[in-house]
Amino acid sequence: MSIQPYPLHFKPEFKERVWGGRALEKFGFDVPAGVIGEGWMIADHPNGVSHVTNGALAGKGLDEIRESVGAAWFGTKGGGSDNGRFPLLIKLLDCNDDLSIQVHPNDHYEGLPKGELGKTEMWYVLDAKPDAKIIYGLKPGVDRAEMAKAIEEGRIMDTLQEVSVKTGDTFYIPAGTVHALCAGVLVAEIQQNSDTTYRLYDYDRPGLDGKPRELHIEDSLNVTAYEGSGAARMDTDGAKPGEWLTLATSPYFKTDKGVVRGTWTLSTSADSFVIVIVCEGSGSIGWSNGLVDAKAGDCFLLPANLGQYTLDGSMTVLRSLVP
């Protein structure tokens, strides 16, 4: 018997990180003990798979679903990445402390681990403390030689741009952008399905095992885009009810912000699934065969063949798909 498409809701795969905390509890998740930095909300990766909580596919992992339901659910463009897996990875990140200074490679870097892809990503700031900031790119004119010298002399921070952030800010981070989230921010991250990170600096702190975390200086210097990566920042306060505000467009994902006030009727297309992340507020997602409640922190995968659906209630959402 074929299963009729419906919005899939997932149980997150939580990751303990030295920089994590307990902020993901505010969304009502059953967060395990420890310093939890990441919730992998929609994940199909060797390092983490999320499992469906609702409907006919409840209990099944996204990897198993990908193999069983067929291309119609994921779309002609969204049917898989170059490594055969679901093309995107959706996370919520609780930055209770500063993350390492890092950079991600592109798909063509010859040093990529076997089976891995590059990593272009974006952040949407769900919450930020008043003095919150991030590291976002290099200062103008910094080249490889200057960066290498600064690392050797223990002054890498002198080469980096620091920017203040507030709730609702969006940052597009193409591969090659040196970056780091800092303490006091909670973000939604939409990214290529990759877990490849090269660390440039980690504040000389011990990891969860008490030992210094590995740095990847040569790989980092190799993949950094010194002339600029195309990174872009956006203030999203201009989003209007019932209209999509485009936040980021890349070869891997297109993400829009929407403000729901009442009923908003939409439709999927055969090209791609749609991922809906509820940033704040609450409401529901309706379709021809049912209704599912939606609240802040929830992430849904709407199959490409779902067709018409409605967002209802009072909430702010992100919509991501494969362009």
Question: What pLDDT, on the 0 to 100 scale, is given for residue 1?
Answer: 46
H-only helix segments in the chain = 62-68, 144-152, 217-223
DSSP 269: B
CATH numeric code, 245-321 = 2.60.120.10
State how beta strands 274-287 and 308-321 pair.
antiparallel
Instruction: Say yes or no: do domains 8-235 and 245-321 share a fold.
Output: yes
Pair 302, 276: CB distance under 8 Å: yes
How is 137-168 classified by DSSP, letter by letter? EEPTT--HHHHHHHHHTT-GGGGEEEEE--TT
Q: Which residue has the tokens 């590059």?
A: 118
Q: For residue 30, what are the contacts with CB-CB under 8 A and spacing of at least 6?
A: none
Q: Which two tokens stand for residue 130?
A: 């008043």
| Residues in the annotated binding site for Zn(2+) | 104, 121, 179
Q: What is the pLDDT along the chain (323 residues), one digit of tens a residue?
A: 489 999 999 999 999 999 999 999 999 999 999 999 999 999 999 999 999 999 999 999 999 998 888 788 999 998 877 778 999 999 999 999 999 999 999 999 999 998 899 999 999 999 999 999 999 999 999 999 999 999 999 999 999 999 999 999 999 999 999 999 999 999 999 999 999 999 999 999 999 999 999 999 999 999 999 998 999 999 888 889 999 999 999 999 999 999 999 999 999 999 999 999 999 999 999 999 999 999 999 999 999 999 999 999 999 999 999 99
Supply the residues annotated as catalytic: 199
Q: Round the CA-based radius of gyration of the chain to a whole number and report it.
A: 19
Of 279, 274, 276, residue with least CA distance to 314: 279
- Tokens describing residue 269: 């297309």
* CATH 2.60.40.10 corresponds to the domain 8-235: no
Of 295, 321, 82, 50, nearest to 190 by C-alpha is 321
User: Pairing state of beta strands 133-138 and 179-181?
Assistant: antiparallel
**What is the residue whose two structure tokens read 């930095």?**
37
State phi, psi for 281 to the nearest 5 degrees.
80, -165
Q: Which two tokens stand for residue 287?
A: 């379709």
Paired tokens of 240: 């209007």
Domain coordinates of the chain in residue numbers?
8-235, 245-321
Burial label, 68 (beta-carbon count in 10 A; 0-12, 13-18, 19+): exposed
> Residue 147 region, left (φ>0) first, then alpha (ψ -120 to 50), else beta?
alpha
The gap from C-alpha 179 to its chain's centroid, in whole angstroms, comes to 14
Helices and strands in the chain, H and E counts: 3, 22
- Tell me which residue of 256, 314, 258, 318 sits closest to 284, measured CA to CA: 314
Q: In what order do the strands lie in the sheet with 36-42?
A: 13-21, 36-42, 88-95, 185-192, 121-128, 169-173, 232-235
